[in-house]
Amino acid sequence: MKEAMCYTRIENDRVHCFLCSQHCRIEPGGTGKCGVRQNRDGKLFSLVYGKLVASHVDPVEKKPLFHFLPGSTSYSIATVGCNFECAFCQNADISQPPRISGGIYGRDASPREIVEQAQQEECASISYTYTEPTIFMEFALDVAAPAKERGLENIFVTNGYMSREALDAAAPFLGAANVDLKSFSDAFYREKCGASLKPVLKTLEGMKKKSIWLEVTTLLIPGVNDSETELKQIARFLAGLGPEIPWHVSRFHPAYRMMDVRATPVETIRKARQIGLEAGLRYVYTGNVPGDDGENTFCHSCGALLIARIGYSVKKRNLAGGVCATCGTALAGVGLD
């Protein structure tokens, strides 16, 4: 175990964890909402430091990041646990066990081993993903620092519920993040995720100010968060934050405690993409619809096809030095050549 960051000791050996916006007050012997940070005699410890439950080489497009080192691979790692309890979680088998059963498991791995493995696999980055990276922040930072020193980028795939203090600690090492903006309704966050909306919006604003390359994903669940009104609210917020921010509107498939909800119609995903473009976003992508035209990147100025994709594979580029080969307009992003 490793002593945790971002906590203070309060009365009667209780601790206040402020790593994320749950702001848990934890009794001696207890854990926070994530299930992986435990109070032992007035000190808070991470129970998942160096315990990998997943490690894979993925296309960076799978994060999804379409404007950050496109066509490269990312060494992707996770530990068990999450500070959300989403009813529609796609990775509940590894995100929820600490909360449900107290299960803490994973193979031991050191930061050095992970960085060396990423380099051996010729990855351009390391992604902290599959579960919520905030809950294993101590380990993520110990990996991210040497990774950056060796020329690897660091990527967070996150629900955006980290505290300001946690973001300040991570920002110097982060090249990019994909943040789930699950809804624009606080009621949705409270009822479906056990969280709230405002802290996620603050994280998005904070990442933008810190010049972390930012992409956003919204999983559209039929009849739950896919209304035209809500999609317009999300699109307007993101366009106001920065019209160059890519928005991934993804198709839901039945999962976890929402197995009775049908998959999102493709027409809903395409409609959401059009709403985003009409709101002023330059790059809106359809997710979980392989082969759809909405997977491709087009020049926001002349409409030329710049990057053609099928699924997570880049099939064609029409870029010259990061600009449109047709009209010369720059494509927003990092490492686009």
Cα 42 to Cα 140: distance, rounded to the nearest angstrom: 24
- Classify domain 51-295 by CATH number: 3.20.20.70
The predicted pLDDT at position 57 comes to 98
Do 215 and 64 touch, CB atoms closer than 8 A? yes
The predicted pLDDT at position 337 comes to 80
At residue 319's C-alpha, the angle toward residues 318 and 323, to 5°, is: 135
DSSP state of 133: G
Residues 6 or more apart in contact with residue 113 via CB below 8 angstroms = none
Largest CA distance in the chain: 67
Q: Which of 286, 176, 271 is nearest to 231 (CA)?
A: 271
- pLDDT, tens digit only, all 337 positions of the chain: 899 999 999 999 999 999 999 999 999 999 999 999 999 999 999 999 999 999 999 999 999 999 999 999 999 999 999 999 999 999 999 999 998 888 999 999 999 999 999 999 999 999 999 999 999 999 999 999 999 999 999 999 999 999 999 999 999 999 999 999 999 999 999 999 999 999 999 999 999 999 999 999 999 999 999 999 999 999 999 999 999 999 999 999 999 999 999 999 999 999 999 999 999 999 999 999 999 999 999 999 999 999 999 989 999 999 989 999 999 999 999 999 8
Asked whether the bond before 199 is cis by omega within 30 degrees of 0, the reply is no
**Radius of gyration (Cα) for the chain, nearest Å?**
20
Do 101 and 94 touch, CB atoms closer than 8 A? no
Cα 318 to Cα 304: distance, rounded to the nearest angstrom: 8
The predicted pLDDT at position 104 comes to 95
**How is residue 241 written in tokens?**
């934050």
Q: Where are the alpha helices (DSSP H) in 121-253?
A: 137-149, 164-170, 186-188, 198-209, 228-241
At residue 161's C-alpha, the angle toward residues 158 and 166, to 5°, is: 90
The structural domains of the chain, with segments of one domain joined by +, span 2-46, 51-295
The predicted pLDDT at position 269 comes to 98
DSSP for 234-293 reads HHHHHHHH-TTS-EEEEE----TT-TTSPPPPHHHHHHHHHHHHHTT-S-EEEES-TT-G
Q: What share of the chain is helix, strand, coil (3-state, %, to 5)?
A: 30, 25, 45
Give the SS3 label for residue 16: strand
Q: Can you say how many angstroms the Cα of residue 241 is from the centroid of all Cα atoms in its chain?
A: 17
Phi, psi of 46 (to 5 degrees): -85, 130
CA dihedral sign, ordered 120, 124, 126, 130: negative
